[in-house]
Structure 1
């Protein structure tokens, strides 16, 4: 079987390969995230907490009545809290019609920050809101005033709280604030799909892959996984979920061949398989359906997660309304 070439030119192909190489290096160095909720990791953070002057200052500012004891009250921070605050972030960006990839960026800030220090409930919420504000400020510049975000907190936090947390977060992140997201990988990887695939199908694959990457953002399971693995798993799932009547299986084989030619060693990468299986399970459990060629409105509902207007950050991660058609998430235990 002869392999067809990607739709891009030779120069564009070289650029794609170079970008993929750079992003792969970034995801393995500055932007890698440990399993910070693991008991061993949290125990180490507790030991180091006494020496963290910056975090203590932020904690005292946001918790004037708690004193230093609130700094180590991290026992309730768990995967469910993270999931709910992530959903709240999506509500905010949808309310203001921002690019949803901003939430992915914000969550990488939050995850990497939480990997450096212990936090209590209120500091967790402040860190999440600040991470979102910082991501919007960098990737949607000039589109959100701090006062608007403070209004969403219903007076729970003030501008000085966000400013102090932003300083603390930037120092903890060592100013590495341009993470390679799964969909950033998808944008380049989908250019390696065969030129024989029609623009419409190529668009549908990209949009379904985008949706799958968004599913991964709220799931703590993917925090320690490489964005490139999530991207590959999303594209492969998208091509399969479209069905063989739309995407001939040989195009998936050709795509994988092109990926290897581009320099990605995927043959022995078990992480891609693990991400593939997890995303497929989430997709099926969520009751989603593949894109429909016959119903444009159905396609839009399938690709974009429906969310309602944002609630206050004080409501999350205790209770966040995900959609007008869904029940309110139960309060954390």
Structure 2
């Protein structure tokens, strides 16, 4: 079930620090990013395209390998206080490398795949963060699996395969720029909340192999649309949402029908997380609230009886309330940052 944002609990500092651009620049910049994703930065589903390589391997790379490496990467950037978008940038390097002729063979060797993924994060940090991570630290983080020289050699190999194209668009980059199409009358706090929820969804998408073949513009737009649809209409009216969609379709080539499919995929991921991690807690919370409501209703009923001496008995409150009240999931609270922080006891892919 979709979640509704709570503005007061949303960190807005990062949105406030984002660079401001002139309105007339936005269509040109988004158009350039779309041309990038359709050109040199285009990706394919390499697990399908090169399935013969995977079939011949004893332990080929699979979708779970991506999940584990994403978990590890997020743990590293969180510990080092880097931006979480850097993980998405690094994973985009990984995907494009695995699509290349040089990178295909890594699909048959999990140990090499892990080396590639770690090196891609290292490259992303070196280029997009103010501080550089030493290869010696990377070797330590690998728990002795790889040497500094192996990381250095792999870095050179990856950059050559990517033809040194390391400034491609990301889903979060699209989300950030597309939000600039919102009417200027939309409050900055609302913009910040939408951005934060969209960012949360793009982080989830990074770990899902399904999104490898999806254009970043579609993922970014879908994340924004889900975030906007989760907003209370008192904060963002349906009129503003319609105007936003009209403006985006007017100035970009983004297909809203395709966006809807991606929205559904993102919603299912969030719903799966809710079911796995919070279902029991929510059920317990609902039961507790039902008990409190029953006690309160009974107290008021006794108080009313003592005053009016009504001959009519009170209804079965618990049963009726559970039927009439909307489910807990439909009250849509903002996902916490911890929801997107993956927990992993090991940084390695099973080899």
TM range (shorter): 0.7 to 0.9
- Is 1:152 matched up with 2:133? no
Q: Report the CA distance between 1:75 and its aligned residue.
A: 4.7
Q: Which of 69, 72, 86 matches 2:70? A: 86
- Is 1:206 matched up with 2:195? yes
When normalised by structure 2's length, the TM-score is 0.71
Q: Which of 336, 339, 351 matches 1:301? A: 336
C-alpha offsets along residues 222-260 of structure 1, whole Å, 9 cap, x if unaligned?
A: 100000001110110001112334322222101101112
Counterpart in the other structure of 1:279: 266
- Is 1:317 matched up with 2:301? no
When normalised by structure 1's length, the TM-score is 0.75
Alignment of 1:46-57 (within 5 A): none
Q: Report the CA distance between 1:291 and its aligned residue.
A: 11
Counterpart in the other structure of 1:126: 115
CA contact (8 A) 1:185 1:231 kept: yes
Q: Report the CA distance between 1:210 and its aligned residue.
A: 0.8
| Bigger proportion of residues as helix | 2
CA contact (8 A) 1:211 1:303 kept: no
Counterpart in the other structure of 1:27: 37
Residues paired across the two proteins, number? 273
Q: Which of 38, 41, 44 matches 2:50? A: 41
Q: Report the CA distance between 1:274 and its aligned residue.
A: 1.6
CA contact (8 A) 1:242 1:291 kept: no
Instruction: Return the alpha-carbon distance in structure 1 between the equivalents of residues 123 and 330 of structure 2.
Output: 34
- Match of 1:196, SS state, is coil
- Match of 2:22, SS state, is helix
Counterpart in the other structure of 1:6: none
- Is 1:96 matched up with 2:80? yes
Q: Report the CA distance between 1:142 and its aligned residue.
A: 2.9
The alignment yields a C-alpha RMSD, in angstroms, of 2.6
Q: Report the CA distance between 1:198 and its aligned residue.
A: 1.1
Q: Report the CA distance between 1:204 and its aligned residue.
A: 0.3
Instruction: Return the alpha-carbon distance in structure 2 between the equivalents of residues 217 and 24 of structure 1.
Output: 19
Instruction: Return the alpha-carbon distance in structure 2 between the equivalents of residues 283 and 199 of structure 1.
Output: 25
Moved over 3 A (4+): 72-75, 288-292
Counterpart in the other structure of 1:192: 181
Instruction: Return the alpha-carbon distance in structure 1 between the equivalents of residues 348 and 138 of structure 2.
Output: 14
CA contact (8 A) 1:136 1:144 kept: yes
Q: Report the CA distance between 1:128 and its aligned residue.
A: 0.6
Tell which has more relative contact order, 1 or 2 (C-alpha 8 A, sep 6+). 2
Instruction: Return the alpha-carbon distance in structure 2 between the equivalents of residues 17 and 246 of structure 1.
Output: 25
Counterpart in the other structure of 1:264: 252
103-112 or 139-148: bigger deviation: 139-148
Q: Which runs of 5+ in 2 are unaligned?
A: 1-20, 279-328
Counterpart in the other structure of 2:236: 247
Q: Report the CA distance between 1:176 and its aligned residue.
A: 0.9
Instruction: Return the alpha-carbon distance in structure 1 between the equivalents of residues 174 and 201 of structure 2.
Output: 13
CA contact (8 A) 1:183 1:210 kept: yes
